[in-house]
Chain A
């Protein structure tokens, strides 16, 4: 099993060279995106012109809201 650390994966910008860029973006989507953002349609995460992840952010925002509720209930 591979194990990656921040020093190997992190990047402040999309360079197109790192195969873990979808993972970095997924991590940000999971943690940084707030509800209330105006979203129209889908956001396509593309690296070097190749579409890697297609997300319906409306669904994701619902998930973020659920997460916020869950965080208030430690027994859940």
Chain B
């Protein structure tokens, strides 16, 4: 039966009984050499990405972190034909997995996101241009929107760059997210020692307190270190 991989943990890490995987399936342990892979069965090898499934995938890994297990997360969508196929894919990577586990030992991923603090009602602008030359007004509106968004994205990136400088002592690795999915304007992820999580949150709050009022900063985490030590194949 096809299996979906959530992550690779140190041997002996047992999923809490309350944890459910994709589509509510129970999460089980698959022994792979000196490691334990957390997997669940899925109905078919073709797996559609849905928001609910992304949340379910992440929830399994958050449960592993909450239990203070050492976990190298898998990105969403790693599906193998069966247990044997997954073992065969993981076993040659035992050395890399050991290195990844050392990287994430005692560390979690934190991220800073910037969004626009207010969303204009798109219908409002539409209604104000009902008369006159609708085609020209429409193009002008698009031009202004593109220009405003470009400026906002630039400001958001600059804000995170400044905050990252202030955080430099608190993280060991950084990833700047390229082309973040909307509504996020800019995002950076950091690998942070667990004991520095509270300082990370405070520092971001202080650094961004006097920023552009059109921007809003959110801190996400602590979470699995997808950006720095994710299991990848192929």
Q: Which A residues form the contact surface with B (CB < 8 A)?
A: 1-6, 9-14, 20, 22-34, 36-40, 43, 45, 53, 55, 57, 60, 63, 66-67, 70-71
Nearest-Cβ distance from residue A4 to partner chain B, whole angstroms: 4
- Rounded to whole angstroms, the CA-CA distance of A29 and B51 in the bound complex is 8
> Do the beta carbons of A9 and B76 come within 8 Å of each other?
no
Q: Is A3 a contact of B208 with CB atoms below 8 Å?
A: yes
Q: Are A12 and B62 within 8 A (Cβ)?
A: yes
**Is there an interface contact between B113 and A28, defined as CB atoms closer than 8 Å?**
no
Closest CB in chain B relative to A37 CB, distance in Å: 4
Q: Give the size of the chain B interface in residues (CB under 8 angstroms).
A: 58
Residues of B participating in the A interface, judged by any CB pair closer than 8 Å: 46-52, 54-55, 57-59, 62, 74-78, 109, 111, 113, 115, 117, 175-184, 187, 189, 201, 204-205, 208-213, 215-223, 226-227, 230, 232, 234
Q: Which 3 A-B pairs have the closest CB atoms?
A: A34-B75, A37-B77, A4-B218
Tally of A-B Cβ pairs under 8 angstroms: 143
Contacts of A27 in B (CB 8 A): 111, 113, 184, 187, 220
Chain A neighbourhood of B187, CB < 8 A:
27, 30
How far does the Cβ of A11 sit from chain B's closest Cβ, in whole Å?
8
Known: A27-B111, A39-B48. 13 other contacts (CB 8 A): A1-B217, A4-B217, A13-B55, A20-B218, A23-B183, A23-B218, A25-B55, A32-B57, A38-B47, A40-B48, A53-B182, A53-B183, A60-B179
Assess the B178–A9 pair: CB atoms within 8 A. no
A25 with B215: CB separation less than 8 A: no
Name which of A34, A45, A70 has the most chain B CB atoms within 10 A of its CB: A34
- Minimum distance in angstroms from A8 CB to a CB of chain B: 9
CA distance A53 to B183 in the complex (A): 8
In the bound complex, do residue A53 and residue B201 qualify as a contact, i.e. CB atoms below 8 Å apart? no
Q: Is the Cβ of B219 less than 8 Å from the Cβ of A45?
A: no
Tell me how far the C-beta of B163 lies from the nearest C-beta in chain A, rounded to whole angstroms: 11
B178/A66 in contact, CB under 8 A: yes
Output the nearest chain A residue to B179 by Cβ-Cβ distance. A63
Q: For the complex, what is the distance from the CA of A71 to the CA of B174, rounded to whole Å?
A: 9
A40 to nearest B CB, angstroms?
Answer: 7
Complex contacts, A11 vs chain B, CB 8 Å: 55
Q: Of A3, A24, A31, which one neighbours B219 at CB under 8 angstroms? A: A3
Among A10, A26, A31, A36, point to the contact of B182 (Cβ < 8 A): A26
Q: Which residues of A contact B232 (CB under 8 A)?
A: 34
Q: How near does chain A come to B50, taking the closest CB pair, in angstroms?
A: 6
Q: Which residue of A lies closest to B57 (CB)?
A: A32
List of A residues within 8 angstroms of B220 by Cβ: 6, 9-10, 24, 27
A21 to B19, CA, bound (A): 22
